[in-house]
Amino acid sequence: MRVGIGLATEQTQKLIMTPELRQAIAVLQLNTLELSRYLEQELLENPLLEVKEELTGQLDEGEMPERETPEEDGPEQIDADWTEYFGDQGQPGMVRRTSEQMFSSDNIWAPAPNLQEYLLFQLNVLLPANRERRIGEFLIGNLDENGYLTCSLDEVSRVLLVNQEQVEGILKVIQGFDPVGVGARDLAECLRIQLVQKGQLTPECDAILRHYLHDLGNGRLVWIAQRLKITVQEVQALADLIKSLDPKPGARFSLNNDVRYIVPDIVVERVEGKYVVLINDSTVPHLAVNFAYQALLRQEDRCDLKTRKFLENKLSAAEWLIKSIEQRRLTLYRVVTCLVDLQREFMDRGVRFLKPLNLKHVADIIGVHQSTVSRAIASKYIQTPQGVFKLKFLFGSGLACIGSGKKKATECIKRMIREMVDQEDARNPLSDREIAERLKGAGIDISRRTVAKYRDELQILATPQRRRY
């Protein structure tokens, strides 16, 4: 066999990830808030992009809206596909924002004080400007977001060059501030401070906080009763009292300026017995191409070659971005419309009627790849007549039903477990095996270990911890 090097011509087909394709994929994965921030950045970088203002006033009969471009520019030569888009006529599933939604007094708010500011205000009212206040300010500055002291008293005394007794005295003052329990060094001290201020700290309760707090969390009430030589009912009452306290007194201050509102990307409404899918674009700016720059491109003598090349690239990027946004909206509309049809019983009757569903099933129905469906539902929320859910909530696995061969959705099984636990006898709570047997009696093939897994995901305590005496 002869071996050598030569040249040959070959024709093949392959997919190349162009920058425009990467951008379209990235836009598809963004939720509403992320898309708004992304477009704001694009508006800063691309001069040919502008926000299309909605026409708020009404025109008189026969009156034409004024154009921003001079008449000598001639008629706009825009691609026919974009003419329909710029006309903005009756796009399905589109939610438009009005001037009242954009500018509302409800959007004006003032930040609340954080934990340190709130405690410093109380300290300044109580102590004069001297060494004691300086110690108090240092202690308050070393509290974490939950209100716990993160340094030892010995460290404070060495840094400030003061006696440890002085530091401890100022700490006692801070521990009397609101919120009750702030300034503690551990959980037991935090709970003890709250009980002292309520006047409910008994010797038995103090002993539980000092020595048996971990056992209390594990539900070992009988063992604690034997050690303290009291009845189990008394331990149960003390446990209820301790559980009513706040283990993180400073947490509500750290969350004041960290509020997270869920903005649904899709809204499904029931209108005259039919479900209507609306893509929530109320916070997304409606983009358009700047006609002034388009007119500049049509006049060859108005700009040099380098400027023309720059404007042509930006024009192409602007048109592709607008097309990507439109494609994202249409893809999301098709996916959700298909989901509404497949999960009609869930929309009508609730979570217990949710069906198992996978990406491939939806992808085959609407004629796209399942990776496209995966990107379309990523990090997005849907508002339905049954509540607001993650879009991925409508997809999920299931367990086989005995005899019928059909499957029951995992979320439906979890809801059944939750209802069983809510209706159980608190003095004799159901075990995981008993729950599994009841589900098998309802026709669901499930093991005890799977029940324990679902119970943990629902944050339901184990049987000994749920038992009441």
The token pair at 103 is: 């500018």
Q: Is the pLDDT of residue 64 over 50?
A: no
Q: Delimit the domains of the chain by residue range.
A: 17-52+79-87+263-396, 115-254, 398-466
Handedness of CA 129, 133, 135, 141 (dihedral sign): negative
Torsion angle, alpha carbons of 390, 396, 399, 401, to 10: 80
Average pLDDT, the chain: 83
Q: Say if CB 285 and CB 51 are below 8 A apart.
A: yes
Q: Which residue has the tokens 């000598």?
A: 72
Q: Say if CB 321 and CB 352 are below 8 A apart.
A: no
For residue range 334-384, what is the model confidence (pLDDT) as tens digits? 999 999 999 999 999 988 889 899 999 999 999 999 999 999 999 899 999
Q: How sure is the predictor about 95, in pLDDT bands with cuts at 50, 70 and 90? A: very low
In angstroms, rounded to a whole number, what is the distance separating the alpha carbons of residues 143 and 115?
9
Q: Which of 88-97, 149-158, 365-374 has the lowest mean pLDDT?
A: 88-97
What confidence score (pLDDT) does residue 305 get?
83
Torsion angle, alpha carbons of 337, 342, 347, 351, to 10: -130
For residue range 380-412, what is the model confidence (pLDDT) as tens digits? 999 999 999 999 999 988 887 877 667 888 888
For residue range 114-132, what is the model confidence (pLDDT) as tens digits? 889 999 999 998 887 788 8
Partner residues linked to 153 by β-bridges: none
Q: What pTM does this model have?
A: 0.67
Inter-helix orientation angle 131-141/115-126, to 10°: 170
Whole-number Cα distances in Å, 385 to 94, 277, 334, 344, 362: 19, 12, 19, 11, 21
- Which H or E element spans position 157? helix 153-160
344 Cβ contact list (under 8 Å, min separation 6): 275
In angstroms, rounded to a whole number, what is the distance separating the alpha carbons of residues 86 and 68?
15
For residue range 278-304, what is the model confidence (pLDDT) as tens digits? 998 888 888 888 888 888 878 777 777
Neighbours of 429 (CB within 10 A): 19
- Which H or E element spans position 454? helix 448-457
Longest dimension (CA), the chain: 100
Q: What is the DSSP letter of 444?
A: B
For residue range 19-30, what is the model confidence (pLDDT) as tens digits? 778 888 889 999
What confidence score (pLDDT) does residue 4 get?
73
Q: Is the pLDDT of residue 436 over 70?
A: yes
Whole-number Cα distances in Å, 346 to 293, 394, 420, 441, 452: 50, 9, 21, 23, 25
Q: Strands 266-271 and 381-384: what pairing?
A: parallel
Handedness of CA 232, 233, 239, 242 (dihedral sign): negative
What confidence score (pLDDT) does residue 77 get?
43
- Chain-centroid distance of CA 159 in Å reads 42
CATH 1.10.10.60 fits 398-466, yes or no: yes
Q: Is the pLDDT of residue 259 over 80?
A: no
In angstroms, rounded to a whole number, what is the distance separating the alpha carbons of residues 28 and 71?
38
In angstroms, rounded to a whole number, what is the distance separating the alpha carbons of residues 42 and 322?
11
What confidence score (pLDDT) does residue 57 get?
45
Segment 127-138 shows an average pLDDT of 86
Segment 31-53 shows an average pLDDT of 89
What confidence score (pLDDT) does residue 217 get?
85
For residue range 163-184, what is the model confidence (pLDDT) as tens digits? 999 999 999 999 999 999 999 9
Q: Is the pLDDT of residue 66 over 70?
A: no
